Amino acid sequence: MAGEKNKEKLILDSAVALFTTKGYSATRMEDVAKKAGISKGLTYFYYKNKEDLFMALTKKAFDQFREEFREVLRTKGKNGLEMITDLAEKVILFSKNHPVYYQAILNFLDVLRKYNHASLRKEIDPLILDSIHFHKLLEVHHEPVRMGIQMISQGIKDGSIRPELQPEITFYMIWGMLIGYEKMVGPIEYEGKETKVSPDAWKPGCIRLMQDMLRGTIQASKPQVVQASLF
C-alpha cells in the first residue's frame, strides 16, 4: 500500500512539474511516465487517462487548499475579521506558490458550473465525468466554503464583522474578490498600462478594502444641505 501511494505521489508530482513548464495541453501521459521514471503502462494502471490524472491532481489541490482553511480555524485568540484576513493572505500566497494547483481549482469551479446545468453538462469532456476523482471532488469541494462561512459567522458573532451581512453570500463574494485579485495581477504589473496602480500597493490595498467592507466602515458621503433664503 505504501509503495502504491508513493508511485501515485510520484506520478502526480511529475504531472505538476510538466504542467508548470509545458502546460496541460502539451503534456502527454508518456511525458509524465518518463518524468516519473516508470513505465507508461504502470502510469495508466493508476490513472486511466490524462483527464483522470488531472482530476486526481485537482483533488490533491483541493485537499491542500482545505488545509489552509483549517489552519486558520485552528488559530486561537483571533476574531472573525482577523481570521478572514489571514485566510485572504493564505489564498493569495497559495495562488502564487502553487499556480498549477490553484488553476486546477479554478478550472474545477468552471466545470462545476456546467455540471450543475443539464444543458451545459454535455460540454464537459466525458473522460472527466468518468473519473472517480471528479466524483470525489463533488463530495468535498464545498468544505473550504463551509469553513469560510464559519469564519464570517464568527466575525458577526464577536462584533468584528457588521451584523447585517449574510454569511454565505459574504464569503462567496470574498472568494470572488480573491479570484479577481489573482486574475488582475498581470494587468496591474504590466508597465505599459495607462492606469497607474503600484504593484506594491495592490495587495495591501485589496486587503484593506475587504476589511473596510466587512467592518462597515465604507460609507457613501452625503451631500451637504445648503440652506439659502429665497429673498
Cell triple for residue 192?
Answer: 505599459
Q: What is the residue-wise DSSP string for 159-221?
A: TSS-TTS-HHHHHHHHHHHHHHHHHHHHHHH-TT-SS---HHHHHHHHHHHHHHHHHT---PP
CATH classification code of 1-47:
1.10.10.60
Cell triple for residue 111?
Answer: 466545470
pLDDT of residue 220: 42
pLDDT digits (tens, 9 = 90+) for 103-133: 999 999 999 999 999 999 999 999 999 999 9
pLDDT digits (tens, 9 = 90+) for 148-165: 999 999 999 999 999 999
Cell triple for residue 143?
Answer: 468544505
- Average of pLDDT values for 199-223? 81
CATH 1.10.357.10 spans which residues of the chain? 50-215
CATH class label, 50-215 = mainly alpha
Asked if the model's pLDDT at residue 21 lies above 80, the reply is yes
CATH 1.10.10.60 spans which residues of the chain? 1-47
State the pTM of this model: 0.86
pLDDT of residue 221: 44
